[in-house]
Chains A and B, each alone.
Chain A
Amino acid sequence: MNRPLAVARIQLVAWPTAIGWPLGILAIAFAVNLLVFAAIAGEPADATTGGQASIYVVFFVTYLQSVSQVFPFLSGLSVTRRAYFAGTALLVLAQSVLFALLLLLLLGVEIASGGWGLGMDFFGIGYLRQENVVLQLAVYTVPFLAMGFLGMFLGVVFRRWGTNGMFALALLVLAVLGAVVALVTWRQAWPTVGRWFVDTPPLAMVAGWPLVLAVLLAALAYLGLRRTEP
């Protein structure tokens, strides 16, 4: 069998973990929100909730664990780093689109049922709402990609450089952010930054830039993996 395809399929062999957990946790978050909304029924119309984020977090953890557990396992079964990466990236892509389609479907139900009969916006929250179905799908898909590859990237950092690597990375991120804040403050450029956030179309904000981030993280994860000793 084609090696990357086999890698992807093997991670679905124990599918309850790969598919069941994200969906299960989403279902629980949804149920909890539904109960809360039912309890405060009739008070504020069109309230929103961030419960949908749970599925993205689980997605992140899934691929973090893939690198820390499935990668060394498959290395032990004579799989190359390239085949592991290709197969897992394929899985991230497929699963992102699949989950996004599911969210889209549930959004349709939500709209048709007037917010599950309670005016609850669980799937169509605020600026994530798009009128165009294709754009809506993109808005759902891209954050999955970003979270999946972020998980893989951090998994690779940990596999290759251990705890020290994770701390060094955290330090680096903090230093860069701190430098940016200092620079913006020094140049008194906060209004410009604020304007950029306002001017950037929501679509670019929730789909465009995260896509750039996802591609960047995927590339870094692959480069790191090439010289990792599992």
Chain B
Amino acid sequence: MNAFTSMSVAILRGFLRDKASVFFALVFPLMFLVLFGGLLGDQSESRVNLVQVGEVALFDDMPGPAREAFEDTFEVEKSDDLGAAIAQVENGDADVAVEMRDGEVVAHYTQTDQTKAAITQGALRAFVDGANVAATGGPPTYTLTTERVEDDSLSTIQFVTPGLLGWAVAMSAAFGAAATLQGWRQSKRLRRLQLAPVTTRTVVAARVAVTIGIALVQMAIFVGLGAAAFGLQLTGSWWASVPLLVVGTLCFMAVGLFAGATTRTVEGAVNMANFLVLPMAFLGGSFFPLDAAPGWLQAFSKVLPLYWLNEGMLDVLVRGDGPAAVLVPMVVLAGFAAVLTLLAARLFRWETK
């Protein structure tokens, strides 16, 4: 094995045998993917729980097509006890209790869940109106047809996968570089390597190669799990995310070097990296879209490297943009990488005192 290969193997072994590193690079971000993809993924409203008290002619005599629509909206449970039914609504076990009072349909509901309350009222009114029209025997004067328009906004999994992947890559690259710089300085391993006939370039290249390899594995796992379990669909130029991810990895290794160079212990370096990356994940749109954020925050996010990584990943992975969409993010990330590396080199001190 040549020096580059054996250094890379040594570093990779060190990473794979460190359970904490593997957890934070792979398992931890995946937990978020499962959380966001699984829990927030199904945003379609569930049916309204309706408790029917006694006989309600409106429901019981509903004609076929209307009944189908009705059952799409309501989950009906029958009861003879009005008090118990209202209690069910009060403590949230049901959404609405309906009784018939001398030809009048009375619905008891709460405002706790305003969306459900609105759906309940609107739907019930529609069914009452429909029954009234039907009772006249004539055709309705107006009919309403609704058509769904495809919107540009992304479903949950389409949005969270690129963002969480960007965050995961940023985190493991920054933590890895920060811990390596401090750990190797303290154990004098950097000194020892200086005294071995290997160039700095070989040492740095080995460390970078391992980190990029880890980033690509992260991407494969994220995209694979997203597609297999949560219905993620990649768009045409998804492959353009690979070079973007590589530059993003370099950029966040530079963030890690900066964190390592400005601190004195491994713990301090990792904490500093966390301090830089975690707020960036929130403000750079890794966890939720910034479309609804105030203007100043949207403007501020553009000075964060993670914003550019996220945008580029979203563009090519799920928004269907062409490969050119990653060019600007790549240039910005490379710029951050260069500046932060230079800063780190200026701030790095061999001695702790």
Q: Is this pair of chains taken from one and the same complex?
A: no
B interface residue numbers (CB < 8 A to A): none
A interface residue numbers (CB < 8 A to B): none
